[in-house]
Amino acid sequence: MNGSELDRDPNTLPARLPSAAIFARLAGIGLLLAVIAGLFLYAGGWLTPHALTPAAMVDTFERLNGAHPGFRRNHAKGVCVTGYFDSNGQGQGLSKAQVFRAGRVPIVGRFALAGGQPFAGDTPQTVRSLAILFKQADGEEWRTAMVNIPVFVVNNPQDFHDFLVVTSPDPQTGKVDTAAVGAFVGKHPETAAALKEIGSHPFSSGFGDSAYYALNAFRFVNDTGKSTAVRWWVRPEQGGAAGDFATTDKNYLFDGLITQIHSGPLRWHVIVTVGQPGDPTAQAASAWPADRQQIDVGTITIDTIESEDTSATRDINFDPLVLPDGISPSDDPLLSARSAAYSQSFIRREGEKKSPSDVSTAEVSK
């Protein structure tokens, strides 16, 4: 590359442009950079401050529940568990995920109460949740966050936001505006139907005898590439809580669970509901027809329980879209929204100073 061809006099620049041309070109460059910067600001939501973003959703939780640094912004009061999942191999026809091959994988999980108040008292009506992380041998994970209601109350994130706001007690009066709730339900027939469906499944006595439903539809993909719409839920093997805790005790649900696990492992069957072509996958508020095939794919066993104060599971985000190969999201818009909002809650709480959980180490070990 030493040819004389490359020799050049770099001092010989083209004649200086006329001032008008310099100005026009400078303006052009400035405009281009401003447009790029503007698009960046727009993409980041800075130009649309009223849009419902993950941050806005989590802000709403914080506003409705008060500030509780270090805790999850929803399902704030909880306790951590570990155990294992014994797959019976029945899920393999639908999904190639390693977790469905016959055999055992370790799990960690968390029982919690819906709502963003970590120190609220347990009540029979509070929605209960069970989140599970299945750890496949190949390092992939399946995380699922389920609740003890058979369908969700709305079909999209904006409606969920509005439902939350309208059903929360007024901070001044401490009362829920029932007229506003009525107006919301009147405008949302899917919510009216969902509330009826939820009402027809009375809550069990405790965490241990609850069924938990994943609510959203997903897709199972098998070895041949066949994709099937599914929903899943877990059915308890055991009955009500051992021990006698009055429902007026502040932590009666958690104390019942602790006692039950200390007296022996708890088990749930993982049931996959198989959707038929045409079954809606983007309507979490509607159940599929009752005659859909139900496949028992294996059993969850939970044998240890630990306070959030010491368990590493406190710092796991049960993002419902952490999925192994073989399970994919459906077109349900709530899935991406849940993933985004959980992530925002996780980002905030991980950087905050932690306070002790209401379900303390002492309580869990007694």
Partner 1 sequence: MTTTNRPAQFAFLSRILHWLMAALLVAMLFIGVSMVASLGDYHWLVALHRPLGIAILILALIRLVTRLLTEAPALPANISPAERLVIKMSELVLYTLFIALPLVGWAMLSAGHYPIVMFGSVHLPPILPAKPELYATLRKTHTILAYLLFLTFLAHAGAVLFHTLILRDGILNRMVPWTVRPAKGESRS
Residues of this chain that bind partner 1 (CB under 8 A): 1-2, 4-14, 17, 22, 25-26, 28-29, 32-33, 36-37, 39-40, 43-45, 51-55, 57, 98, 138-141, 157, 312, 315-317, 319, 321-322, 324-325, 329, 333, 335-337, 339-341, 343-344, 346-347, 350-351
Tell me the closest approach of the beta carbon of residue 301 to partner 1, in angstroms.
22
Closest contact distance (angstroms) between CB of 211 and partner 1 is: 27
Q: What beta strand segments (E) does 62-116 contain? A: 77-87, 103-113
Please report how close the Cβ of residue 12 comes to partner 1 at its closest, in angstroms: 5
CB–CB of 85/303 below 8 Å? no
Instruction: Please work out, in degrees rounded to the nearest 5, the angle formed at the alpha carbon of residue 204 by the alpha carbons of 201 and 208.
Output: 130
Q: For partner 1, give the closer residue by CB, 266 or 340.
A: 340
Closer of 3 and 174 to partner 1 (Cβ) = 3
Nearer to partner 1, 29 or 183 (CB): 29
Let me know if 33 is exposed, middle or buried by CB neighbors in 10 A (0-12, 13-18, 19+): exposed
Please report how close the Cβ of residue 350 comes to partner 1 at its closest, in angstroms: 4
Contacts 24+ apart (CB under 8 A), 166-170: 168/64
| Min dist. Cβ of residue 30 to partner 1 (A) | 8
| Nearest-approach distance from CB 17 to partner 1, in angstroms | 7
Taking the C-alpha atoms of residue 28 and residue 308, their distance in angstroms, rounded to an integer, is 57
- Output 56 or 120, the one with its CB closest to partner 1: 56
Least distance in Å: CB of 357 to partner 1?
15
d(CA 255, CA 248): 12
Whether 113 contacts 129, CB under 8 Å: yes
Nearer to partner 1, 116 or 326 (CB): 326
Residues of 103-113 as b/e, b for ≥16 C-beta within 10 angstroms? eebebbbbbbb
Least distance in angstroms from the C-beta of 139 to partner 1? 6
State the alpha helices, DSSP H only, in the chain. 19-43, 54-65, 157-167, 178-187, 189-199, 252-263, 333-350, 361-365
| Residue placing its CB nearer to partner 1 in the complex, 2 or 172 | 2
Closest contact distance (angstroms) between CB of 101 and partner 1 is 13
Least Å distance between CB 289 and partner 1? 28
Phi, psi of 189, deg, nearest 5: -60, -30
Q: Do 132 and 300 form a contact (C-beta atoms < 8 A)? A: yes
Closest to 272 in 3D by CA, of 291, 287, 289, 292: 292
17 versus 176: smaller Cβ distance to partner 1: 17
- Three-state DSSP string of 187-201: HCHHHHHHHHHHHCC
Between the alpha carbon of residue 3 and those of residues 8, 11, 14, 283, the distances in Å are: 11, 20, 24, 70
> Which CB atom, from 254 or from 346, has the smaller least distance to partner 1?
346
Nearest to partner 1 of 296, 325 (CB atom): 325
DSSP conformational letter for 98: G
* Nearest CB to partner 1, comparing residues 93 and 333: 333
